[in-house]
Amino acid sequence: MSMIENIVYTLIVSISSLFTVLCCLVVSRSNVFHPNLQGPIWWSAFFYFELTISKMLTIVFQTTYLNDHCKFNPSLFKILIDEPSGGMFILMWIAATHYHFIFTVMAAPIVVVAERSLATKFVFDYERKKRRYILVSLFLFQLGFATIFTLLTVFNILRYVSAAVIAGLIAITSLLIFLHINRINKRTLRFVETQNRDIKFDLSVRYQLRENVKTFKMLTILLLMLTATIVLLAFLKTIPMIIGVDEDTKYIFKISTDMIVHAGPIYVTCTMIWAVDDYWIVFCRFLGQEKQKVIPPETRFEQEGRRHLLRAIFAIFEIETEEYSKKKKCSNPCLESV
C-alpha cells in the first residue's frame, strides 16, 4: 500500500477503535438486556481490537520486509521473500488476527439466536435465575468457532471463498430463525393475554414474555444491519474470485471490503445507540445531558391484558362484597334475638 493508503487506514482504525471503546462503555453501563445477552454484545465489540492489531502489524510488515525483491498478495496473505523467518512469523499473526475477528463476527448472530431461544424456553424463570452456564457456553462456542475456522483458513484447509459462502448462509439462516422465534413470542403473549387464564402464566411470566418481545424488537434492526453487512462482504469477497477479474479490479474489491470491515464499529455503534432507547440515554449521559426515559405507549395486547386484569379484580371485589353483605344480614337477626 502507498503512504496515503496507510494514513487513511490508520485514521479509520483509530476512529473505529474510539467507537469500539464507546460501544463497550455504553453496553456495560446499561442493563436493558439480560446479562446472558449483554455479555455477547460486549465481547463481540471488544474483539475489534484484534483487527486493529492485524492492521498495525500489516503496516509494520509492509514497511519493514517488503522491497523490490519480494512479491506480496494481500488478499491471500502469501509472500515470496528471500529471508522468510521474521516476516513469515508476522504474516501468520496478521492472518490469524484478521480471520479470527471475521469469524467471531460471523458467530455473533448464532450466539444471539441461541440466547433468545433459551430465553423463550426458560420463560417461566429466566429473569429470576442467573444461569451463568449459558453465558460461559456462548462465549466458549463463539471463541471455539472463530478459532477452528481461523486455523482451517490459515493452513489452507478451507478456502476463503468457501468461508465467505458459509458466512452468508449462517447470517441468513440466523436471521430467519430469529424472526421465527420472535413470532413465537408474540403469538404466546397474545394467547396468554387474551385467551388463557392458566395459573402457570402468572404476572412474572407475562412480564418476561413482554420483555422478550421488547428485546426482539430492539435487536431486529441491529441483526438486519449485521446480516446485510455479512452478506455484502461475502458477495464482495467471492465475486472477484468466481468471475475471474483482473488484478486492478480485485484490488478495488479488496479496498472496498477492507473499508467496510475496518469502519464496522462506526456504523454498528451508531445503529445500536439509535435502535436501543436505553443505550441512547446512556450516551446522552456521557455527553452530560440527562435525558428522561420516555414511557412507550401501550400496545393493543397490553391494553387488553390490563382490562382483563381490572375486570378480574372488580369481580373478586364484588364477590367479597356480596359475601360480606350476606354475613351481615345473617348476623343482625342473631343480635336481635340476643
Q: Does residue 34 sit within a domain?
A: yes
Q: What's the confidence (pLDDT) of residue 69? A: 43
Q: Residues of the chain with pLDDT > 90: what percent?
A: 4
Instruction: Tell me which of 238 and 27 has the higher pLDDT.
Output: 27
Q: What's the confidence (pLDDT) of residue 87? A: 67
CA distances from residue 41 to 62, 96, 176, 235, 299 in whole angstroms, order as listed? 33, 22, 20, 25, 28
pLDDT per position as a tens digit, 171-185 = 788 888 988 888 888
pLDDT per position as a tens digit, 45-57 = 888 888 888 888 8
Residue 164: HSE in the Cβ half-sphere, 13 Å Cα cutoff: 17
- The CATH number covering residue 102 comes to 1.20.1070.10
User: In sequence order, which ranges of 195-299 are alpha helices (DSSP H)?
Assistant: 203-243, 247-262, 264-275, 277-286
Q: Does residue 314 sit within a domain?
A: no
Q: Does residue 325 sit within a domain?
A: no
Count of domains forming the chain: 1
Q: How far apart are CA 143 and CA 5, in angstroms?
A: 31
Q: Does residue 132 sit within a domain?
A: yes
- All residues at 6 or more sequence positions from 40 whose CB lies less than 8 Å from its CB, including other chains: 108, 111, 112, 115, 138, 139, 142
Q: How far apart are CA 120 and CA 167, in angstroms?
A: 26
Q: What's the confidence (pLDDT) of residue 212? A: 78
- In this prediction, residues 88-92 reach a mean pLDDT of 79
Q: Does residue 309 sit within a domain?
A: no
End-to-end CA distance of the chain: 108
pTM for this predicted structure = 0.71
Confidence check: pLDDT of 309 > 70: no
Confidence check: pLDDT of 71 > 50: no
- In this prediction, residues 91-105 reach a mean pLDDT of 86
Q: What's the confidence (pLDDT) of residue 102? A: 85
Q: Which H/E stretch holds residue 66? A: none
Q: Does residue 19 sit within a domain?
A: yes
pLDDT per position as a tens digit, 106-143 = 888 889 889 888 888 887 777 777 788 999 999 999 99
Q: Does residue 301 sit within a domain?
A: no
Q: Does residue 320 sit within a domain?
A: no
Q: Contact at 8 Å (CB) between 22 and 69?
A: no
Q: What's the confidence (pLDDT) of residue 68? A: 42
Q: Residues of the chain with pLDDT > 70: what percent?
A: 75
Residue 338: HSE in the Cβ half-sphere, 13 Å Cα cutoff: 5
Q: Print the domain residue range for 60.
A: 3-290
Q: Could you give the angle at the alpha carbon of 96 between the alpha carbons of 90 and 98, nearest 5°?
A: 100
Q: What's the confidence (pLDDT) of residue 66? A: 63
pLDDT per position as a tens digit, 244-279 = 777 777 788 888 888 888 888 888 888 888 888 888
User: In sequence order, which ranges of the chain are alpha helices (DSSP H)?
Assistant: 3-29, 35-46, 48-64, 84-121, 132-154, 160-194, 203-243, 247-262, 264-275, 277-286, 300-337
Q: Contact at 8 Å (CB) between 106 and 230?
A: yes
pLDDT per position as a tens digit, 322-335 = 555 555 555 545 44
